[in-house]
Amino acid sequence: EYDWSLNMPRIAEIWRAGCIIRSSLLDDLADALRSDPPQGELILAPTIRARLDTTIAPLRRVVASAVTNGIPVPVLAGALAWYDSIRTARGSTNLIQAQRDFFGEHGFKRIDKDGVQHGPWNS
């Protein structure tokens, strides 16, 4: 909106050197910002994708352990849910369609049939 023309890779480098946040992730972020990622999505940049490939499995274990032990980790769980949602071709919208049909007979579309369908819901 304000067209500040900020040098985002340089800002990430400055944070890496002069802030309490000294994570090497900021180096990857600076590289990703420099690489002009596909569709402008940082998550598609090679350095970020490589980091995610090595960290998602441990994140799943942390979230699962926390949930199993009754420890709320809403930000970690939300980040994992977001990551899974962008990688899923058909996600939770199918469930939403089914709920709308159950409660209001709105119908739903199937991928194997044309037209609007209605479920055989038992109330």
Q: What is the pLDDT along the chain (123 residues), one digit of tens a residue?
A: 788 888 888 888 888 777 777 788 888 888 888 887 777 788 888 888 899 999 999 999 999 999 999 999 999 999 999 999 888 877 777 788 888 888 888 888 888 889 898 888 876
Integer Cα distance of 25 and 19 in angstroms: 13
Supply the pLDDT for residue 38: 72
Task: Decide if 93 is inside a domain.
Answer: no
Residue 95 lies in a domain: no
Does the residue 110 lie in any domain?
A: no
Answer yes or no: is 78 within a domain.
no
Task: Report the pLDDT value the prediction gives residue 88, as an integer from 0 to 100.
Answer: 81
Strand, helix or coil for residue 8: helix
Are 12 and 26 within 8 A, CB to CB? yes
Residue 79 lies in a domain: no
Number of structural domains (the chain) is: 1
75: tokens are 């930000």
| pLDDT in the model for residue 100 | 87
Q: 79 pairs with which residues across the strands? A: none
How many helices (H) and strands (E) the chain has is answered by 5, 2
The answer to whether residue 122 is domain-embedded is: no
- 86 in Cβ contact with 97 (< 8 Å): no
Q: Please indicate, yes or no, if residue 111 is contained in any of the structural domains.
A: no
Residue-level pLDDT at 64? 99
- Cβ-based neighbour number of residue 9 at 10 Å: 15
> Whole-angstrom Cα distance, residue 109 to residue 94?
9
CA–CA dist 45, 42 (Å, integer): 5
Q: Does residue 14 form part of some domain?
A: yes
Q: Which domain holds residue 66?
A: 8-72
